[in-house]
Amino acid sequence: MKKLMLLVLLLLTVCSSAFAESIDDVLKDCKLDRNRWKIVEWFKSDRFVRFYDSESVSVTGPGQFETIIYDYFYSGICNSENCKQRGNKHYHSEKVGFNATKSTSTLRSISTKDSNENVIDSYDYPIKLQIASEFDKKSIEAKTMLKIKDSLKNNKEFTKEVKPKQEIAAKNTTPLPKIKGLVPMPMVIGASDGEWTYLGRFIAPPNFSSLLEWETRMKRYTANVESNNLYDVYYYHSHYGDGDGHGCYMVGGANGSGWHYSFACVIKCVTLDQNARPKNLSGINNGVHLLSMGGMSKGAFSAGIGRWRVFDSVTHQVLVDDTRNQNAKLNGSFRDYEHSELRYGQDSPFYIAMHMTTSCPVKPNPIP
């Protein structure tokens, strides 16, 4: 009976301590200068405190500003499975642009820092991947935007009234004349448009069970007749880094040649109509798809999709932003050693992009 009473008292003590936890308790080891770093909110259920850097707030136009945000995970627990600091107190940092008028945010860069603000890893988004996204009025982004907006109420540039633009004459809505065959490809295969390299025109399977099957079953479309499921496809790749489209490893072969041990890129698929003109319609099925892919050789080369994004062809807003853990359609694996898949795998955009990338640094010795 005494042991039971002691156990009850112990539980009451623990519970009382938990309920009595204050903001000062959770920030006792936080080394941020509180005169500079302002608290947005304490998110108790997720065990982190959000700050914004008051010295980094920069007005970029009427109703618009940029700032740096810190999420301080005081218990070491965060929602990123790949975080290298899980289990330790640490920060997740973001540089973000806000448009208070349109309720959108644009991610510029991200990083992970230890409790002393030493950078563990970071990624700067290329300009073409800095896409404004709308946020819900009850979201953490909205709370952050409103907190900083309140501090700018006396900033004349921020509060400046924007005169409405003169009405633009209505667009000509006359249907385009019916044409036979396909319009020419937008550029020569292998040519670049900024950071994107053109892979060519592809046709996708009409039926598929996953996005991985959809991508690996794509193949070049060389006919000149009308068809459904056509796409102009591009790719982005960087030799170094750990973000979307970053990372490669080529092993030296005979006569100075090399083969890819690992490779990552972002595949961009622009949805086309039957005559290969980019669709000017809203919706996921008419949008621009970005597939963040990676592969590695383990006797036979295998590939997977880690992230899927879709941008509306008309508004350019984000319609989908899913990762492998969020969407079952991204799961599964593809291995090209099966004869039935080998032909299609070598015709797919990912494999073509990998073999088209010849400037990756070659390592002299194979990996064991």
CA distance 246 to 195: 12
Within the chain, which residue ranges are assigned CATH 2.40.128.710? 25-159
Distance CA 91, CA 74 (A): 9
H or E element at residue 309: strand 301-311
**Number of alpha helices (DSSP H) and beta strands (DSSP E) in the chain:** 7, 19
Q: Which of 288, 358, 299 is nearest to 321 (CA)?
A: 288
pLDDT digits (tens, 9 = 90+) for 57-84: 999 989 999 999 999 999 988 877 778 8
Residue 340 confidence (pLDDT): 45
Residues of the chain with confidence (pLDDT) below 70: 1-20, 162-180, 253-258, 298-300, 324-345, 364-368
**Confidence (pLDDT) at 251:** 79
pTM summary value = 0.51
What pLDDT is stored for residue 319 in this prediction?
87
pLDDT digits (tens, 9 = 90+) for 295-322: 887 656 777 888 889 998 888 888 888 8
Give Cα 100 distance to the centre of its chain.
22
Residue 69: per-residue pLDDT: 95
d(CA 348, CA 351): 6
Q: Which amino acid is at 102?
A: K
- Buried b / exposed e over 268-307, threshold 16 CB at 10 Å, is bbbbbbebbebbeeeeeebbbbbbbbbbbeeeebbbbbeb
In our burial notation (b when 16+ CB lie closer than 10 A, e otherwise), range 14-27 reads eeeeeeeeeeeebb
The verdict on domain 25-159 having CATH code 2.40.128.710 is yes
